[in-house]
A and B are shown apart, each in its own frame.
Chain A
Amino acid sequence: MSSLVGFLSLILAIGINFYLLLSRYILRFKNQRFNFLIRLSSLLTLLSFFSLMYAYVISDFSNYNVFQNSHSNKPLIYKISGTWGNHEGSMLLWLSILSIFSFFFSFTKNTEDNFQKLTLIIQTFLHILFGLFIVFTSNPFLVNSILVNEGLGLNPILQDPGLAVHPPILYAGYVGYSIVFSIAVAGLFQNSDDEWLHVAKKWSLISWTFLTGGIALGSYWAYYELGWGGWWFWDPVENVSLMPWIAGLALVHSLMMVRGEQAIKKWIVFLSILCFSLSVFGTFLVRSGILTSVHSFASDASRGIFILLIFFIVTGFGFLVFLLKEPKKSNSLNLLFINKVSALVINNILMIIATFTILLGTIYPIIIEVLYNKRISVGGPYFNSTVIPIMIPGFLLMSIAPILSWQTNKIKNSKKYVLGLIILSFLVLIQSYFLDFNSWGFVGLLLGLWIILASIIAIFSSYNFKFNFKFFQIINPHIAHIGVGIAIVGITCSSVLQNELDFNLNVGDEFNVDGKRVLFKEIETTNQTNFQSLRGKFLFDIKKDQSQKIEAGKNYYPVSKMITSEAGILHKWDRDIYFILGDQKNNEWYIKVLINPFVSFIWLGVIIMMYSGLIAVTRR
Chain B
Amino acid sequence: MKLGHFFKALHITILGFLFFSFKILAVENIEERLKSLTLELRCMTCQNQSIYDSDAEFSNDIKKIVKQKLQEGKSEQDIKIFLVERYGEYILFRPLINYNNIFLWSFPFILVVFGLFFVLIKIKRKNV
A interface residues with partner B (beta carbon < 8 Å): 228, 230, 233, 235, 292-294, 332-337, 342, 345-346, 349-350, 353, 356-357, 360-361, 364, 368, 372, 374-382, 385-387, 390, 429, 433, 437, 582-583
Contacts and interface: CB of A to CB of B under 8 A. Distances in A.
B1 interface: no
A360 B103 CA distance: 10
Given A353-B111, A357-B108, A357-B111, A368 B100 contact: yes
B126 A382 contact: no
**Residue in B15, B95, B123 with the greatest tally of chain A CB atoms within 10 Å:** B95
B112 to A, nearest CB: 6
Nearest to B48: A235
10 contacts: A233-B48, A333-B126, A345-B122, A353-B108, A353-B115, A375-B90, A376-B95, A376-B96, A380-B93, A381-B93
Contact of B104 (A361, A433, A582): A361
A329 to B, nearest CB: 14
Nearest to A364: B104
A429 B18 CA distance: 10
B92 interface: yes
A376 B112 contact: no
B94 A382 contact: yes
Nearest to A592: B55
Main secondary structure of the interface of B (DSSP, over half): helix
B122 A377 contact: no
Given A228-B49, A372-B100, 12 more contacts: A292-B47, A293-B48, A294-B48, A349-B115, A356-B107, A357-B107, A361-B104, A376-B95, A378-B93, A378-B95, A381-B93, A433-B18
Given A228-B49, A357-B107, A376-B101, A349 B118 contact: yes
B107 A360 contact: yes
A390 B19 contact: no
Given A294-B47, A357-B108, A377-B95, A583 B89 contact: no
Given A342-B123, A350-B115, A583 B55 contact: yes
Contact of B93 (A345, A372, A379, A433): A379
B53 interface: yes
B76 interface: no
Contacts of B22: 437
B4 to A, nearest CB: 16
Contact of A346 (B90, B94, B119): B119
Contacts of B89: 374-377
B22 to A, nearest CB: 4
B63 interface: no
- Contact-size category for B: 35 or more
A357 B114 CA distance: 14
Closest 10 pairs (CB-CB, A-B): A379-B93, A381-B94, A349-B115, A375-B90, A376-B89, A437-B22, A386-B108, A353-B111, A228-B53, A357-B108
Contacts of B48: 233, 235, 292-294, 379
B88 interface: yes
Given A335-B123, A377-B90, A381-B93, A230 B53 contact: yes
A355 to B, nearest CB: 10
Contacts of B18: 433
B62 interface: no
Nearest to B126: A335
B42 interface: yes
Contacts of A228: 49, 53-54
Contact of A293 (B47, B54, B101, B126): B47
A235 B54 CA distance: 15
B91 interface: yes
A120 B118 CA distance: 36
Contacts of A349: 115, 118-119
Contact of A353 (B47, B112, B122): B112
A473 to B, nearest CB: 31
Contacts of A294: 47-48
B101 to A, nearest CB: 7
Nearest to B19: A437
Given A294-B47, A377-B89, A381-B40, A345 B119 contact: yes
